[in-house]
Amino acid sequence: MSHAVQTARQAARSLIAWAGWRLSVPEAWRPLKMTGDPAKGTMMIGDAERPIVLVQWWRPRKTVFDADKWFDQRFRKLGAHPTPGAPAPAGFTKTAWEPELATREGSSKTVWTGYSAEAGLVVEVIVTSLTEEWLRRSIYKTIVPGMTVSREDEPCCWSMYNVSFMSPPGFELELKHLFSGDVALKFKRGRGMTLLLRQVYPAKLAVSRRSLERWLEATPFIERRVLKSPAREAWHRDQPRRLEGIRQTGWKRLPAPLGRCAPRHSTAVAAVDGEMDRVLLAELQCPADAGGAEADWAVEKMNMQ
Amino acid sequence: MKKKFAIDRDTSMSVCPIRRPAVKTEEKNGKRYVTIEFERPRWQRMLGADEHCRRTFGLDAYGQEVYDGCDSQTPVRKIVERFAATHHLSVAEAEMSVTAFLKTLLSKGIVVVPLSKDVVVKGMKR
C-alpha cells in the first residue's frame, strides 16, 4: 500500500483505552492481542495486515514508588541509556526513551516508557523496525504525545472497536466478555459491589430477538443470584442523544435455602441508542439500596468519548 | 499435498464481486429469497440428472446490503466501509463480518469474483 494512501487512511481516528491509558490511533488500527489484567498487562495494536505497536502497562504496588530508580533499572535491563527528547504527554511525571535500541536479532526497536504519579501507572510503548521509519516517527511524534491517563480518583475509559465505556472511580475491572456485537465488562468495588456494563449491536436485531427485560436477565457472566418481581419504569434521556429504555430495581437473592444470605440490591438500566443502533445495558449490585445512580450515569456515558 | 489457492489481502479487498443473475427474487417477512440456476456437475448429468438445478437462498437485511453491494463496480473495501458507516461499526468489525459473509456467498456460488490471469497464477504458486 502506498504511503499516500496510508496517510489518508490514518486521518480518521479511533480511540483505544484500557486500564487507565488512552490512545487516539488511526481508524484502521485495532487491538490484536491482549494479555494480563488492569494491574499489569500488554496489548498488541496493529492494522489488518500486521502488528504495529506494543503497549505494556503496570501499576506499581508500593506506596512510595521511586520512579528514577525504576527507570534506571529498566533501561539497564534493556542495555541502553535513555536518549534526550522523549515525548512527554500531559499527565506523565517522568518519561524516557531509546529510539534505536538494538535487538538480539540484529534489528532495532524504539522503546518509550512513561510514569504517571497521578494515575499510579507505568506505560511502555514499543515499536520494532519492522514498522516503516515514517510510521515509527509519526507514532512518537503524534500518537504517544497524545496519550492520556486517568487519575485514580477519576472515571476510567475503556474503549476499542468503536465501543466505549466509562467506569466510575474506585471500580476495578474483574471480568471481560469481548465478542463482536456483544461487549461486556464487569467491575467491582470493595465487598459486594459490582457494576456490569454491556453493549449489544445491532440493536434492531437484538431487540427483535429478545426484549430489553430479557436482555437484562441474560448476563454473559455466571450469576447465582436471581431477581424476583423487580420494579420497572420507563427510562429515557434526550440530551446529548436520545436514549429510550427501562430501569429495573429489586433484590437479587441466592436460591433457597440461602435466600436470606447476602442479598444484593440491583439497579439496572437497558436503553436503545437509535442513532448508533446499540442496546446499552448497565447493572449495579450493592449490599444495600444506594439509589443506583452509577447505573444511570454509566449508560449515559457509553460511546460519549 | 494439494496446494491451496490464496491471494493477498490487498488484492482481495480491491476486487469487485458480481452477483450471479437470479431467475427469481421474492420478498417475504423482511427476508429476500433469491433463486439461482446452476449447472449440475457432469457426473450427476451422466447419472440422469437434469442439466440445470435451482437453489434458493434467504438473505436478511444485513445480507441484502452486502449482496446489493456486489454490483461489479464496487470493490470489497468500499462495501466494508459503507457497511461500517451505515451501522456505526468500526472498520475492523465490519471487515470481519462482511468478508466472512462474502466468503459464504462465494462458496454457495451466489456471487463470483473476477480475477486477472496473473493474479490466479500467483495465487496457485502460494
Q: Which residues in chain B have their CB less than 8 angstroms from residue A275's CB? A: 88
Confidence (pLDDT) at B110: 93
Strand order in the sheet with A40-46: A30-37, A40-46, A51-58, A121-128, A108-116, A94-102
Grid coordinates representing A215 are 436482555
Per-residue pLDDT, A196: 97
A195-220 as b/e: b if 16+ CB within 10 A: bbbbbbbbbebbbeeeebeebbeebb
B90 touches chain A (CB under 8 A): yes
Q: What percentage of residues in chain B have a pLDDT greater than 70? A: 90
Q: Is the ipTM of this complex over 0.90?
A: no
C-alpha distances (whole Å) from B30 to each of A225, B26, B33, B84, B101 are 38, 10, 10, 21, 19
B91 neighbourhood in chain A, CB within 8 Å: 27-28
Residue whose grid cell is 444495600 = A288
Q: Of A276, A132, A301, nearest to A206 (Cα)? A: A276
How far, in whole angstroms, is CA A263 from its chain's centroid?
Answer: 29
pLDDT digits (tens, 9 = 90+) for A129-188: 888 889 999 999 999 999 999 998 999 999 999 899 999 999 999 999 999 999 999 999
Can you point out the beta strands (E) in A93-135? Answer: 94-102, 108-116, 121-128
Cα(B94)–Cα(B98) distance, rounded to whole angstroms? 6
CA atoms of A94 and A28, how far apart (whole Å): 30
The pLDDT of residue A32: 94
Contact A279, A303 (CB under 8 A): no
Rounded mean pLDDT of B10-16?
A: 90
CA distance to partner chain B, nearest, from residue A57 (Å): 24
pLDDT below 70 — which residues of chain A? 1-11
pLDDT value at residue A249: 96
Q: pLDDT digits over B29-61, tens only?
A: 889 999 999 998 889 989 999 889 999 999 999
User: What pLDDT shows up at residue A18?
Assistant: 96
How many residues comprise chain B? 126
Instruction: State whether residue B97 is helix, strand or coil.
Output: helix
Q: Does B8 touch chain A (CB under 8 A)?
A: no
* Cβ–Cβ under 8 Å, residues A172 and A38: yes
* One-letter-per-residue 3-state SS of B16-85: CCEECCCCEEEEECCEEEEEEEEECCHHHHHCCCCCEEEEEEEECHHHHHHHHHCECCCCHHHHHHHHHH
Interchain proximity B87–A201, CB inside 8 Å: yes
Does the reported pTM lie above 0.90?
Answer: no
A148: left (phi over 0), alpha (psi -120 to 50) or beta: beta
Q: In degrees, to the nearest 5, what angle opens at C-alpha A209 toward C-alphas A203 and A213? A: 80
Cell, residue A304: 460519549
Among chain A residues, the shortest Cα distance to B61 is held by A205
Mean pLDDT of chain A, nearest integer = 91
Element (H, E) at A68: helix A67-78
CB of A194 within 8 A of CB of A285?
yes
CA distance B62 to chain A (A): 10
Whether chain A has a CB inside 8 Å of the CB on B120: the answer is: no
Which of A1, A28, A162 lies closest to B89 in CB terms? A162
Interchain CB contact of A276 with B (< 8 Å): yes
Put simply, the chain B residues between 23 and 42 with a CB less than 8 A from any chain A CB are: none
CA A11, chain centre distance (Å): 23
